[in-house]
Amino acid sequence: MVTEPHFDWQWFEQQGQLCLKTAQGIHRTPVLCKSDLQRVDFTLGQAELYWQSLFALEALHWPAEAVFAACIDAVAQLEFGVADAHKSFYLQNTHSHQHPAPFDLVWLCGRNQALALVLDSSDTQSRLMLLSELETLTGRMFQAGYSFSSLHDRLSLYHPPQTPWRKSA
C-alpha cells in the first residue's frame, strides 16, 4: 500500500534535518535545514511533485516503503534542498547524446553503476537525486538521497527490463 499525500502532512526541522510528519510517523529526509523551519503544511504543488516521482519510480517495482521514502526525498530536495556542486568529473563519460527530462530515471557510473532520478534538466546538465549508493572514480561515497548536478554525457537513460510475453497454448 502506497501512502498518499494528505493535507495534514507537515514539514519540520529536527536536529538540523528536514522531516515530514504523516499519520504513519516521521520521515527524515537527507536535506539539511539551514534555518529554523517551523511546521509548514505539505502543499498541493508538493503533492504534484510526489505523484510525478511516484510515476517515475513505478518501473522499479520497489517495495511501497522504499518508493514512499524516495518520493518524499525528491520533493524535499526540489523544494528545500540545494544541489551540491557539479560532480561530472567524478563520473565516467558515457558519450551519450541524450537529454533526460525531469523525473526520468538515469544510470551513472563511477566505480560502480548507480541509479538516479532527474529532478531538473537544462540543455547541458541535469540535477539528480541518487536512488542508490555511488562510489565515484576517486573513491568518494555518495548515499541514496544525495543531490548534485552532472553533464548529460555522464548519464544513460534507464530502460526497465523487458518482461517476456507468455505464449498461450
Q: What is the pLDDT of residues 27-39, one digit of tens each?
A: 999 998 766 667 7
Could you say which of 63, 80, 97 is where a domain stops? 80
**Among 97, 164, 156, 161, residue whose Cα is nearest residue 124:** 97
Looking at the domain assignment, is residue 3 inside a domain?
no
Looking at the domain assignment, is residue 32 inside a domain?
yes
Round to whole Å and give the CA distance between 89 and 93: 9
Task: Give percent of the chain with pLDDT exceeding 70.
Answer: 89
Q: Do 68 and 16 share a structural domain?
A: yes
Instruction: Give 63's strand partners.
Output: none
Q: Is the pLDDT of residue 165 over 70?
A: no
Q: By residue range, what is the domain housing residue 21?
A: 10-80
Highest mean pLDDT among 8-17, 24-33, 97-106: 97-106
Q: Is the pLDDT of residue 167 over 60?
A: no
Q: Do 43 and 92 share a structural domain?
A: no
Pick left, alpha or beta for residue 71 (phi over 0 → left; psi -120 to 50 → alpha; otherwise beta): alpha
Cell of 23: 499519520
